[in-house]
Structure 1
């Protein structure tokens, strides 16, 4: 699954999740960005990048935050003040739920589940059957009523 295919998959399928009003291509020059708008008006901006290589040998998990790609559940996003980690989980659940036998996700590493999250606190690395490794990274959030992320573009813990 390429970055473009992941972007299109998320745009098409995440608005069906209760609590998400819209998912659209980012309105800037990022070719594979995504803006997720919650029903209460909060927004989360994501970047999608990737690299291709050999297909992964197995779909095992590790202690780093890796999760079995078949075990991701869609969280409840219908309340106010939704945790960004729940939006991350919803996107990963959508990506892993699209079972494509040739390019589907076999392993997901959610950054918010790591004991020591990286600089990008919310996001995921998705390893696909076809050898693509995709990186979904949150680069900004805005609470209801705001149209752009606050400066500098650090994600809030809730939107």
Structure 2
């Protein structure tokens, strides 16, 4: 297995296809949630795609978004997913840790924002995030804004 951090321009067509297939499988098919998966945020030159490949297949994926792309003035992470066949191996935690490290390297000394599905609140809290909103619906799924504050990052 091989971890990679790539810009959109660095993605080869097979890797791009595989990561989009994983995102659609998880967020559209598994969660029965039709929504526009291709949102142009992947194209931002500052976006980083953090992925784990097993052979030619992407089995874990998240993206790092520059300040202002999804959250006003702050960097964020999103589209965090692990393939069904690779779950229960602890990859989700490693994926988020790697994604947070990449975000902190690109934008040091700043808070990191996410829009988390509510059922994952405890998972993200264990990684240092704090709830920053009441639950709201995003694509008909309950979410909440969560923030990993810089002060926690510096002492964690």
Provide TM-score, normalisation by structure 2: 0.32
Greater relative CO (CA pairs within 8 A, separation 6+): 1
Provide TM-score, normalisation by structure 1: 0.31
Q: Which has the higher helix share?
A: 2
